[in-house]
Amino acid sequence: MKALDIAFKDMLRSWRSAFTVVMMFVAPLLITGLIYLAFGGFGGGEVNIAQIDVGLVNQDTAVSQVPVSMGNELAKILTADSLKNLLAVTKYPNETDARQAILDKKISVALIIPSDFTSAVIQENANTALTIIHDPASTLAAPILQSIVEPFVNSLNGSKIAAQVVVAQLEKDGLAVDVSLPGQIALSYGSWSMANIPGANGALPSVDLQIPTASTQGSNKQAMAGGVVAGMIIYFAFYTGALNAQSIIREQDDQTLARLAVTPTSPATILTGKVIGSVILIFIQVVVLMLLSSLFFGINWGDPMKMGAVSMAMVFLASGFGIFLMSFIKNMRQTGIVLGGVLTVLGMLGGLFTTGFQNLPKAFAVATLFTPHGWALRAYKLALGILSGGILIPVLVMTAIGAVSMIVGVLLFRRRFA
Amino acid sequence: MNIVTIALKDLKQIARDRMSLLFLVIMPLAFTFLMGLLFGGNQQTDTRLNVGLINNDSQGSLTQTLTGLLENSQTIKVVDLTPAEESGISDQINSGKLAGALIIPGSYSNDLLNEKNPQIQIIANPSGTGGQTVLTELQAKISQLLGALETGRLSLQAYESQKPVADPHAYLADAVSASILAWQDPSIHINSEPVSVGANQSGFSGYVQTSPGMLVQFAIGGLIGAASVLVLERRNRTISRLLIAPVTKAQIILGHLLGVTVMVFFQESILILAGQFFFKVNYFQNPVGTLVMMLVVALFCGSLGLFFGAISKKPEQAIMWPLIAMFLLTALGGAWFPLDITSQAFYTVGHFTPGAWIMDGFQNIILRGLGFSSILLPAAIIMVYAVLFFGLAVWRFRFE
């Protein structure tokens, strides 16, 4: 009964502390919200990235044999209405001006069309190069511009290669090559090329594009989003566990613990009360964060039984680990470093801040399992269907680490109070 | 002199706490290393995306041409799978082991040669960056093969208009080979180059993003210690006691500001030296610019730390405010990921934060290779924030 009183007192104190409430609920939702806003949501829609300021230097000169300038055709593609939301094109007279505009940050990227662009298409041994110059700090502008320019250039290259190959094959066998044949071949290839562009789904007509099968708990993107939010929930649950255990240090500093010790209350009862308070507090935090993340970010937490088992194990682990960490702390001044530093390092090593990254080094994936955070994240990923396998082993490991942490922490505290 | 004495006292107090070293130096170095690695490091490792391949037509001549093209890709790395593994492909993509997969149907090559328009199966999620990259690269290679085949057909038609071809398939195969060979050196190339005027011409790398990014993050995060010192002084009433000493209120405030500023400058020095010599980030290509940026960032953080110390009544608040500021200013300012990959709204809001200007100032030096004048605007804006927070700190500062 006394243990429950202590637990109730601790919880009351936590709810009255704006700091605790902020760190339990506001901070995880805030960070998740930032990631949500940064990447245009978790729902599967495309990210509406910022419009790219593009410079265009078209130095292409007309060639009498070709009715149109290829440079102008390429410029039309870049300035087409369909790309207006993505590209804001500004014309520059020369490369020097475009480079300066990039250095002045007026544009992120520029396309330099050389003067011999059209002639390189029709002259047999001519070579030329389009140049994309870009702000090195801009990571997307150049690849996006290249992906728009490349199909056009590939079509021209393909047409020329087709004409060259056909002529070479005919000449090899001594057949006649009409002077108009290379032009006809190039035109035919160009028509074929235009008919073989990706459709509305982004796939070529000759490609059957399949989206990876959704996991049993929902779509891949939803599951990944669940992984990101789970990372935040785990980080801040451990934070709450340590913060609640910190009350022992605070009461020691404030001398209230000494006063409590002279009452007929054993150290075991005091510590039991702290653990019960911590478990209830983290449980409420996890449930509320899951509900709010479903509401605000559309997270589908999947099978309630699996998720319930994983969450309960994580709550126990975070509570035990909080007691364990704080048992090494001597005064309130050191708690800041544990709350801000040690938990952040363990969170980082446990992979909580990198849940959205794919193709992580294998060594890193293994290293995460040397931290309790890593096991918690693994369990959530298994429950969400991001990873394949059962949740039993991670749940058992979490429970074991939680129990050992709690026993060691309680023993160290008891020795201190003795 | 009083100002320096108070600053030295603060520094001694912070330095005595060995665990503060963790937050000030060890954590930012560890994060720079890890996050830099995730962003590609110095690009010495194979960063190609894994793509599963189930080849049900391994003997087909055109299929062999296609697999040859895929194996030479700079973007994707082919991982051979058996047909039995087909059912697990989605799981492998969902778990991040594969970025996509390609399934070549049996008799693909023959069907192509016989104009049966066979469909090749790509499994990828184009709404993700990795999936989109895989789809683009796979389709580019397929297009190259089909373009080569189309070339062969055009050639065959031209040939047959003059003379019958004894073995059309062999003729097509010759044309495809010639075409693929020609594609290795096409007439029109597309070159891409970063515009940089200084010595650093290496372009974007993982550490160029994370070295200044983690510097910003932990310069702000490290203010926990500085703000805690102020809170404890207020709780222990040492500030009140100072008031009866021959020291003015202004000297007390400036002393604390100097202490935090020197602490952050010291932290920055270590991180920048590590960036220069360990992570190969070229801060020294404009040493004066780097020094000025370090000074304004230290002053900004000093003002911010003083402000947090002023508004925090309890030790917990001295932890909460720096942590929230750290998460907010660094995420919004582009310290975690480049702002140009984010949404329009995020990008716009981000540029109102000092974090974005700190990143801009450092990246003008280390990435764009620009001269001293390039950091003047970022430095001026960061100083405006420094003055703003210093004013707020003085306004809210309570000695009792």
Asked if the model's pLDDT at residue A197 lies above 50, the reply is yes
Distance of CA B17 to the CA centre of its chain: 32
Residues A242 and A314 in one domain: yes
CB atoms A50 and B340 under 8 Å: yes
Distance of CA B214 to the CA centre of its chain: 11
Which of A162, A191, A211 is the endpoint of a domain?
A211
Closest CA to A383 of A324, A285, A304: A304
| Structural domain boundaries enclosing A205 | 52-211
Domain count, chain A: 2
Number of H helices, E strands in chain B: 17, 5
- Nearest Cα of chain B lies from the Cα of A264 at a distance, in angstroms, of 31
| Rounded Cα–Cα distance for residues B232 and B235 (Å) | 5
B113 touches chain A (CB under 8 A): no
Residues A202 and A239 in one domain: no
B380, B300 Cβ separation under 8 angstroms: no
B292, B375 Cβ separation under 8 angstroms: yes
B108, B61 Cβ separation under 8 angstroms: no
Asked if the model's pLDDT at residue A120 lies above 70, the reply is yes
| Rounded Cα–Cα distance for residues B57 and B60 (Å) | 6
Closest CA to A284 of A247, A236, A252, A350: A236
Report the pLDDT value the prediction gives residue A44, as an integer from 0 to 100: 46
Residues of B in contact with A38 (CB under 8 A): 331, 337, 342-343, 346
- Nearest Cα of chain A lies from the Cα of B49 at a distance, in angstroms, of 8
The dihedral sign for the CA sequence B129, B130, B131, B133: positive
Mutate to test the interface with A, among B346, B365, B368 (most CBs of A within 10 A): B346
Closest CA to B376 of B220, B384, B208, B338: B384
H or E segment at A326?
helix A304-326
Q: Nearest CB to B344: which of A50, A204, A358?
A: A50
CB atoms B319 and A149 under 8 Å: no
Task: Name the stretches of chain B with pLDDT < 70.
Answer: 18-19, 39-47, 95-96, 127-129, 198-204, 400
Instruction: Give one word for A351, left, alpha or beta, with left for phi > 0 and alpha for psi -120 to 50.
Output: left
Could you count the other beta carbons within 10 Å of the beta carbon of residue B11?
18
| Rounded Cα–Cα distance for residues B388 and B378 (Å) | 15
B62, B107 Cβ separation under 8 angstroms: no
Report the pLDDT value the prediction gives residue A279, as an integer from 0 to 100: 93
Closest CA to A83 of A154, A173, A152, A19: A152
Q: What are phi and psi of B213, to 5 degrees?
A: -65, -50
Report the pLDDT value the prediction gives residue A45, as an integer from 0 to 100: 44
- Scanning B148-187 for CB atoms below 8 A from A yields 150-152, 154-155, 158-159, 162-163, 171, 174-175, 178-179, 182-183, 186-187
Residues A316 and A203 in one domain: no
ipTM over 0.90: no
Report the pLDDT value the prediction gives residue B93, as an integer from 0 to 100: 81
- Reading the block at residue A303, the tokens are 């099978």
H or E segment at B145?
helix B129-160
Taking all residues of chain A, what is their mean pLDDT, rounded to a whole number?
Answer: 84
| Rounded Cα–Cα distance for residues A317 and A377 (Å) | 12
Edge to edge, the sheet with strand B120-123 lists A207-210, B120-123, B100-104, B49-55, B76-80
CB atoms A121 and B188 under 8 Å: yes
Residue A127's domain is classified under what CATH number?
3.40.1710
| Rounded Cα–Cα distance for residues A308 and A291 (Å) | 13
Amino acid at B130: G
B121 touches chain A (CB under 8 A): yes
SS3 (DSSP) at B45: coil
Asked if the model's pLDDT at residue A218 lies above 50, the reply is no
Residues A228 and A323 in one domain: yes
Closest CA to B290 of B210, B378, B204, B218: B378
CB atoms B162 and A175 under 8 Å: yes
- Reading the block at residue B250, the tokens are 């202004």
CB atoms B324 and A133 under 8 Å: no
A329, A247 Cβ separation under 8 angstroms: no
Residues A133 and A77 in one domain: yes
Amino acid at B294: M
Q: How confident is the model at residue A418 (pLDDT cuts 50, 70, 90)?
A: low
Residues A258 and A315 in one domain: yes
Report the pLDDT value the prediction gives residue B350, as an integer from 0 to 100: 83
What are the residues whose beta carbons fall under 8 Å from the beta carbon of A382, sequence distance 6 or more? A306, A310, A388, A389, A390, A391, A394
| Rounded Cα–Cα distance for residues A143 and A149 (Å) | 10
- Reading the block at residue B184, the tokens are 């290795």
Which of A211, A236, A265 is the endpoint of a domain?
A211
Residues A207 and A219 in one domain: no
CB atoms A211 and B89 under 8 Å: no
Report the pLDDT value the prediction gives residue A216, as an integer from 0 to 100: 43
Among chain A residues, the shortest Cα distance to B233 is held by A333
Residues A74 and A33 in one domain: no
Report the pLDDT value the prediction gives residue A46, as an integer from 0 to 100: 46
| Rounded Cα–Cα distance for residues B388 and B376 (Å) | 18
Closest CA to A44 of A232, A291, A220: A220
Report the pLDDT value the prediction gives residue B346, as an integer from 0 to 100: 77
Residues A258 and A395 in one domain: yes
> Strands, E, within A321-412: which ranges?
none
pLDDT tens for each residue of A339-389: 767 888 788 888 887 776 655 566 677 778 889 999 999 999 889 887 778
Asked if the model's pLDDT at residue A219 lies above 60, the reply is no
Partners of B192 in the β-ladder: A132
Partners of B52 in the β-ladder: B79, B101
Amino acid at B196: S
Q: Nearest CB to B146: which of A138, A196, A359?
A: A196
CA angle B346, B348, B353 (to 5 degrees): 90
CB atoms B155 and A206 under 8 Å: no
Report the pLDDT value the prediction gives residue A362, as an integer from 0 to 100: 64
Q: Nearest CB to B190: which of A51, A130, A207?
A: A130
Which of A162, A192, A211 is the endpoint of a domain?
A211
Cβ contacts from A onto B, under 8 A: 328
Residues A357 and A343 in one domain: yes
Report the pLDDT value the prediction gives residue B201, as an integer from 0 to 100: 47
Mutate to test the interface with B, among A17, A115, A157, A362 (most CBs of B within 10 A): A157
Residues A267 and A307 in one domain: yes
Residues A132 and A167 in one domain: yes
What are the residues whose beta carbons fall under 8 Å from the beta carbon of A180, sequence distance 6 or more? none
Which span out of A68-77, A121-130, B132-141 was modeled with the highest average pLDDT? A68-77
Write down all domains in chain B, each with its CATH number in brackets.
Answer: 2-42+203-396 (no CATH), 49-180 (3.40.190)
